[in-house]
Amino acid sequence: MKVREALLASARGLWLLLYGMIASTVMLTFTVLSVVYIVVGIGFLTTPTVVGRLRAYANQRRAWAKAWSGVEIAAPYGPPPVVRGGVAGRVELTVALLKDKSTWRDVQWLLQDLTAGAVLALLPAASMLYAVWGCVLALGVWRPIVHSGGNEWFAFIHITGQTSANWAAALGLCLGVVGLFVNHRLLRAHFLAAKPLLRPTTEQELAQRVDRLASSRHDAVDSSAAELRRIERDLHDGAQARLVAMGMSLGTIEALVEKDPDRARQLLAAARADSAATLAELRDLVRGIHPPVLAERGLGDALRALALRMPLPVEADVRLPGRAEQPVEAAAYFAASELLTNAAKHAGARRVWLDVEHVRGVLRVTVTDDGCGGAAVRPGGGLAGVERRLGAFDGVLAVSSPAGGPTVVTIEVPCALRHPAGTGR
């Protein structure tokens, strides 16, 4: 496993070196030339396109950082400015892009990628290349090099004969062994060195957070209004209609109680059944607003009860040492309910696993199913709705659902837990 990781890190480092040197040089050249040509007017036409390509290139490096080394680097770019069409619009867009700090930080990153970044990308590749080249020299390749008058150096070893070639092979093997343990760390160091320039600044993070909270607030208001409309519709079409029908039945019973007692008793039994159905409907409606078990016993027991009511087997593992605030519990409960319902209805799953825990100030709920996979956050879809509702609490949703499954959906909501009274904590 270590050999595979080391070789993969070496190959990726070599790719970052070769591709990065070429691509970064081209991007830096075109960016500088485009900005310089602004003085003659051409730059107003080319700069938006060049900066767009530069941002796509930087986003590609961010994606590689996450996929290859697990280094998360958020993109600092905000929504594109709204400008007029035509030449005047290109001028406005160019000015807006040049005022954006992200543009100049990306240019700084290109310079960093061509210097320190290139060295850090070379190191994991060099360890394996040296191991191979040292062995090749020791197998006799040193002879034609030295006999033809070549002056071959292997690191700090001057190759003059078989003995020095053997020392080169030993040094190369040592470097290869060291690479087994450090190559993936060196590759990660390459991305960590780029992170300070590729991530948002503190001001940009605050601006993005404000925009996200404003959007979450808007979604929360819309969601609350939609929920109120649903409750009104359910009451009007369900419980209210049943109560009106019961009132009419009771009026008929009152008229028949002396004339036709048998018929009155039948209608009374029917009214009693209607009242029981109305009560059950009201209980379901109340449970949909805020389940009693959630209010009385907390999120853990509410999710266990929810798992028992699902039409397919759900293995629930809940580890919560306390209770969160009621709004957070409600959001997590209904999010988990949506995820379990999706697994039962759309995934074709035979079994579902529900894991709930609180780690380092974050409430994490994970729903895993063995279904067909292919789930994704799509505009207007159920998962997108869950993501919007969690956004009101600064929560996030992550989906891993390759074709053929399994599907793993994780929600995380930052919150604190209140420990039950009497625990001594």
CA distance 5 to 2: 5
**281-322 pLDDT per residue, tens:** 666 655 555 566 777 788 888 888 888 888 888 888 888 888
Mean pLDDT, residues 213-229:
62
CA distance 324 to 34: 54
Lowest mean pLDDT among 38-42, 49-53, 125-129, 360-364: 125-129
User: Greater confidence, 22 or 292?
Assistant: 22
pLDDT score recorded for residue 192: 93
CATH of the domain spanning 296-414: 3.30.565.10
Counting residues of the chain whose pLDDT is more than 90, the rounded percentage is 18
Mean pLDDT across the chain, nearest whole number?
Answer: 80
Lowest mean pLDDT among 1-10, 19-28, 395-404, 416-425: 416-425
**349-370 pLDDT per residue, tens:** 888 899 999 988 889 999 998 8
Sheet holding 362-369, edge to edge: 314-319, 352-359, 362-369, 407-414, 396-400
Lowest mean pLDDT among 36-50, 344-358, 367-381: 367-381
**Cross-strand pairs, 397:** 411
pLDDT score recorded for residue 147: 67
| DSSP, res 82 | P
**225-236 pLDDT per residue, tens:** 665 666 666 666
CA distance 340 to 405: 15
